[in-house]
Amino acid sequence: MNAHHLRIEGRVQGVGYRAWMVREARRLGLSGWVRNCLDGSVEAVIAGPEPAVQALLTACRRGPIAARVDRIVEDFAELPESEGFHQR
């Protein structure tokens, strides 16, 4: 399993981005979490098999229909302590 830390910037708060990401991550069988940040970005840790992680990363660049993703800053992360994907 691989884990990635993401900081998603753009119009990503108030448009259902977190709920959308939870649905997509669960559909792909990933673990981790997603939350809003005070600066208006969304932060997430995603973990799982690399093909599923890459599929979610690709989807995150588009996001839900009302979102506008300007940039994703990606780094490696520690594996989440719990299984499943949830919103913080």
Question: Residue 80 in contact with residue 25, Cβ under 8 Å?
Answer: no
Q: Which amino acid is at 80?
A: P
* Residue 53 falls inside a structural domain: yes
30: CATH = 3.30.70.100
* Residue 32 falls inside a structural domain: yes
* Residue 87 falls inside a structural domain: no
Cα–Cα dist 16/39, whole Å: 17
Q: pLDDT tens across 69-88, in order? A: 999 999 999 988 888 999 99
* Residue 86 falls inside a structural domain: no
Which residue is catalytic, options 2, 7, 11, 36? 36
Q: pLDDT tens across 5-32, in order? A: 999 999 999 999 999 999 999 999 999 9
Which residue is catalytic, options 18, 26, 27, 62? 18
* Residue 29 falls inside a structural domain: yes
Burial class (CB in 10 A: 0-12, 13-18, 19+), 32: buried
Give catalytic status of residue 68 as yes or no: no
pTM value?
0.93
Cα–Cα dist 56/76, whole Å: 15
Give catalytic status of residue 18 as yes or no: yes
Cα–Cα dist 81/79, whole Å: 6
Q: What is the extent of the structural domain holding 9?
A: 2-80
Question: Residue 45 in contact with residue 4, Cβ under 8 Å?
Answer: yes
* Residue 88 falls inside a structural domain: no
* Residue 14 falls inside a structural domain: yes
In the chain, the number of structural domains is: 1
